[in-house]
Copies of this chain bind each other. A is one copy, B any other.
Amino acid sequence: MAVHIRFDLNEQLFIKDPAESDLGRRIIEHSILLFNKLGYEKFTFKKLAIEINSTEASVYRYFENKHHLLLYLVSWYYEWINYLIYANLINVTEPKKRMQVIIQNIVEASIQNPLIDYVNESLLHKIVVAEGTKAYHSIDVDEENKYGYFRSYKTLVKFIADEIGKYKPDFSYPKSLASNMIEMANNQGYFADHLPALTDVKKGEKCNRQLVKMINYFVFKILE
């Protein structure tokens, strides 16, 4: 059975919906590959166009610029996490267990079943870890926030904050803990890979398991 999902991303993130055409889907697919290969700074629409045997001008018909493309990918990622968490929480009622499922999904999203053929979720996760903060660390953050460009991330934070509220109703910092859980998962994973002096998590296959364990430890200490 194939499950068909279409995330409702903010329509101002793109000029023409990339999910709706073959070229659009190739843009998404190969931008994920190329962002991973080159990093955000060295990625250009020209190079992407060459990869997909198309032209710069055609790519520009889908996205205003590479910043918008990054915003699209990051939003897609958080929509996907929202979906995964939602799906994995069905039938889980105990608040503590629900928090554990959330942490698991934030960290290990990449090893879940891929959902959409043209999106390599594992590589997308790497992009979010390595480049994700660039989406909102921009001089135009306030204006972009007005346009709702960060809605998917905010939705996830709100959801987690509400779960924290269920677990401990009198807790004073649900939103901060929620956003810090996500940021910490991303950061500490990145540090394990690239700046090991900044983390106790060791690089390798069990990296994610350590991360899950650590974030669980932190979160339940704070909430106890």
Contact = CB atoms under 8 A, between A and B. Distances in A.
Nearest to A175: B200
A188 interface: yes
Nearest to A130: B137
A206 interface: no
Contact of A200 (B142, B145, B176): B176
Contacts of A218: 173, 177, 180, 222
Interface stretch (A96-104, A111-119, A190-198): A190-198
This chain: how many copies in the complex? 2
A23 to B, nearest CB: 27
A42 interface: yes
A184 B175 contact: no
A91 interface: no
A174 B154 contact: no
B199 A175 contact: yes
B145 A39 contact: no
Decide if the interface of chain A is mainly helix, strand, loop or mixed.
helix
Contacts of A139: 38-39, 41-42
Contact of A141 (B141, B157, B195): B195
A76 interface: no
Interface in A172-222: 172-180, 183-184, 187-188, 190-191, 194-195, 197-201, 214, 217-218, 221-222
Interface in A3-43: 38-39, 41-42
4 residue pairs, one from A and one from B, having the closest CB atoms: A39-B139, A179-B198, A154-B197, A173-B200
Given A38-B139, A154-B197, A179-B187, 11 more contacts: A39-B139, A134-B134, A136-B194, A137-B190, A154-B195, A154-B198, A158-B197, A172-B214, A175-B199, A176-B188, A180-B218
Interface of A: 38-39, 41-42, 130-131, 133-134, 136-142, 145, 150, 153-154, 157-158, 172-180, 183-184, 187-188, 190-191, 194-195, 197-201, 214, 217-218, 221-222, 224
